Amino acid sequence: MTAPMAISVVMPAFRAEALLPRVLAPLMAMQARGEVAEVIVVDDRSPDATAEVALRLGARVLTTPENGGPGLARNLAAEHAAGDILWFVDSDVIAWEDGASKLHHAFADPQVAAVFGSYDDAPDGAPWFSRYKNLMHRFYHQKASRDAQTFWAGCGAVRKDVFRAIGGFDTATYRVPSIEDIELGYRIRRAGGRIVLDPTLHGKHLKVWTPKNAIHTDIFRRALPWSRLMIAREGVANDLNTSNGEKLKAVVAGLLILSLLALPFALALWPVVLGLVGLALVLNWDFARFLHRHGGAVFAARALAYHQFYYVYSAAAFVWCLFEYHVLGIRNRLHVP
């Protein structure tokens, strides 16, 4: 029987000293049990005691030559990692105790080049909006195809030889946390590797979202760069946030918001508004039930209402990218500063 491949945990960290005691605890326990070979924390030139705390907790610590974002930090770790598998875990994610065993099982298939999971159903953060954002991420990953088209580095792993062969994360294009993991997934697929989404590979997200940081991230770190990448190079995949069903929901959300804006000037539109509300609820029924199970009726109503707004600004970003590509002729705007 062939021994399982060694796993190197890679955690990029910036200003993470307060989070490290929680996020490193299960990983160090896995190392103590022999389930992972090492836990590498890459300090991205933090101004706090991130490196010192990581060392004190028993992790191997590397430091980036400059503050260059998580992609640069992960690439540096890949150069020094001893393991055959690079398991990326973000510094605000608590990996579940069975994570290493899930990866060993998945990578027993030699065709599998990468594996990623999802957030669990009990994210940190009391504000309703933060719970909504983290649960939305889980919902999409739990419902998506198991043969994935992209990759997620929040709690995902890749064979080190594959990672090195395709050049690691693109840090020239994505200098800040953005879609560098999605773009990596596209290259893994093009190289013939299979990417598996394992919905039982869990991590607890500790990030607290606000509408302000969510909108900025959704538009400038996700929707715009991902749209540009799909339009210029990859095409639009029928999976996760870009599935055909999601496109239909975005159209209905846009019509709903337009009708609400027009209603004060044309009261006769109220049957249209009610019809669109009903249609949006039907289309999002599974998500609404999911939200209700994890927060009750009031939480589900607030989250679903905001979700229509999310559809609109995400779709608007995609339409803008189509306009700049086909009308303005801007064909090489993948760079995210």
How high is the pLDDT of residue 233?
79
Beta bridge partners of 94: 204
- Would residue 263 count as lying in a domain? yes
Residue 2 counted as domain residue: no
Whether residue 192 is found in the same domain as residue 163: yes
CA distance 22 to 170: 29
Look at residue 337 in the predicted model and tell me its pLDDT: 61
* Site of tokens 């028993």: 58
Q: Say whether both 173 and 306 belong to one domain.
A: no
pLDDT digits (tens, 9 = 90+) for 108-157: 999 999 999 999 999 886 789 999 999 999 999 999 889 998 999 999 99
Looking at residue 56, the DSSP 8-state letter turns out to be H
Measured distance CA(104)–CA(335) in Å, rounded: 35
Q: Are residues 189 and 223 in the same domain?
A: no
pLDDT of 84 reads 97
- Angstrom distance (rounded) from CA 70 to CA 178: 9
Q: What is the DSSP letter of 240?
A: G
Q: Are residues 147 and 283 in the same domain?
A: no
Same-domain pairing of 204 and 73: yes
Residues 29 and 43 in one domain: yes
**52 and 148 assigned to the same domain:** yes
Residue 171 lies in a domain: yes
Sign of the four-CA dihedral 144, 103, 209, 170: negative
What is the helix (H) or strand (E) element at residue 11, kind and residue range?
strand 7-13
Same structural domain for residues 234 and 325? yes
User: What residues in the chain have per-residue pLDDT under 50?
Assistant: 1
Domain end position, chosen among 182, 208, 234:
208
Please check whether residue 139 lies inside any domain of the structure.
yes
Give the model's pLDDT for residue 297: 97
Q: What is the DSSP letter of 2?
A: P
CA angle 325, 331, 336 (to 5 degrees): 100
Other C-beta atoms within 10 Å of 242: how many? 18
Structure tokens at 31: 């190392």
Check which CATH number belongs to the domain holding 143 and give it: 3.90.550.10
Last residue of a domain, one of 174, 208, 242: 208
What pTM value is reported for the model? 0.93
25 lies in some domain:
yes
1 part of a folded domain = no
Distance CA 15, CA 2 (A): 40
State the DSSP H helix or E strand holding residue 55, giving kind and residue range, or none if neither.
helix 50-56
Structural domain range at position 301: 210-337
Q: Are residues 156 and 217 in the same domain?
A: no
Q: Please report which helix (H) or strand (E) contains residue 70, including its range.
A: helix 69-80
Domain end point (choices 208, 240, 268): 208
321 and 201, same domain (yes or no)? no
Name the 3-class secondary structure at 324: helix
Q: Is residue 163 assigned to a domain?
A: yes
Q: How far apart are CA 230 and CA 50, in angstroms?
A: 36
Beta bridge partners of 326: none
Distance CA(62)–CA(121), nearest Å, equals 32
Same-domain check for residues 98 and 21: yes
Domain shared by 143 and 244, yes or no: no
Domain count, the chain: 2
